[in-house]
Structure 1
Amino acid sequence: MNPTKDIQCCNTSCASPFNGTFWDEKYKANETGWDLNQISPPLKSFIDTISDKSLRILIPGCGNAYEAEYLLQQRFTNITIIDISSTLIEKLNVKFDGQPIQVLHGDFFEHKEKYDMILEQTFFCALDPSLRANYIKHCHNLLNNSGKIVGLLFDVISDKQGPPFGGTKNEYQKLFEPLFLFKQFNKCSNSVQARNGNELFIEMKKKILTKNQ
């Protein structure tokens, strides 16, 4: 049995073969097997613990943006979502019309702003593994000094030639450790059934680097 059969994910960088055109075709054909049709339960549980509704939050590779929708319901006021699929962004502009959220069509790796939190939900797994170090570095650059990455990583080994790309806890920690402090890096206990046992919940704080680092 292939452990990644029911695990799919969305969006990636223009620097990859899995670019905007690739994801446009997926959305047009309704080939969105990664879509949970709801906010991911581990992220919902974490969001429910946040008292500061003014945090600047970025959701890269946002897909249908259920996390953003929930943040709005909870009256968060500084939400930005970005996705490389123009087809998707057209739908999201309609969905969020008139609401206090910034909807951006673009490449995450070219985005320049500052945030308190980055929510990771099926974006990292869509990136070619060769882009993972760049993702981590760019997240570090986008975050304020006390900023965090919070979200989910797939804890599976996959030999697939396309997304989702898997990995292990040990592999991920080696990648993130130079730039982030681990607050949580554990198996999820409340994943949806299709992903049960295959998700890691991460909460990582940005490291403040010295000039020599």
Structure 2
Amino acid sequence: MPLNKAYWENRYQNNEIGWDVGSITTPLKGYIDQIQDKNLKILIPGAGNGYEVDYLLEKGFTNVYVVDLAETPLKNIQERNPDLPKEHLIQKNFFELDDTFDLILEQTFFCALNPELRKDYAAKTHSLLKPGGKIFGLLFDFPLTEAGPPFGGSKEEYLRLFSEKFTIKTLEPAYNSIKPRAGRELFFIFLPK
């Protein structure tokens, strides 16, 4: 089945969202807690129910955007955050997004894409970042599988994919993963070249 809008909407409508842990995860929370500039323009691609949005807004960030193919998770985010401007919730294909951001927060979007799109993801995230921007978040660290999503990947693959367009600041096993993902996540920070 193609991983298109109908596929993802169906997953949300039928509550087939095993990746959804109901809150922000510890590695992302820890990194966000260190960010001083609350005016940074932040994108969360394929955010799903977007608990990271809730946390960012709670911490005083004012410029948070989400892009997702599916309508249901965007509605869920809006219901929980009625003051978030509607134009910050973008229902469209990530690869069609035309804007720039200071930060891109990656959490389970990359691993849900068809692996054939990974090189395109690296190029697109690079084009969406302002000079001095960065992408950070988590990437799964388990063998690539056709049984996804989620699809796995390895540190070696990520280095190959991102090194051309990004300086790899951090790409290490997450020391503070939530229990179900312990030993299966890499925390990363990449800076566009």
Scaled by the length of structure 2, the TM-score of the pair is 0.96
Residue identity opposite 1:155 in structure 2: D
* Amino acid aligned to 2:30: S
Distance 2:12 2:84 in 1: 23
Question: Do 2:43 and 2:101's aligned partners in 1 also have CA atoms closer than 8 Å?
Answer: yes
Q: Which runs of 4+ in 1 moved over 4 A?
A: none
Percent identity, aligned pairs only? 45
1:36 equivalenced with 2:32 (yes/no): no
Conserved 8 A contact 1:129-1:165: yes
Q: 113, 116, 128: which one pairs with 2:99?
A: 113
Determine the structure 2 residue equivalent to 1:123: 109
Whole-Å Cα distance in 2 between the matches of residues 88 and 188 of structure 1?
A: 26
The CA deviation string for residues 142-201 of structure 1, in whole angstroms up to 9 with x for no partner, is: 000111010000010043333111111011101000000011110000000000000000
Counterpart Cα distance in 1 of 2:77 and 2:52: 13
Match of residue 92 from structure 1: 77
1:30-179 correspondence runs (5 A)? 30-99=15-84, 102-179=88-165
Indicate the larger mover: 197-206 or 159-168: 159-168
Going by fraction, where is helix more abundant, 1 or 2? 2
SS of 2:77 mapped into structure 1: helix
Paired amino acid for 1:75: G
Distance 1:171 1:99 in 2: 36
Quote how far apart the aligned CAs of 1:103 are. Answer: 1.0
1:136 Cα offset (Å): 0.6
Deviations 1:17-63 (A, max 9, x none): 11111111111111111001110110000000000001110000011
| Aligned AA (2:67) | I
- Relative to the length of structure 1, the TM-score reads 0.87
What stretches of structure 2 of length at least 5 have no aligned partner?
A: none
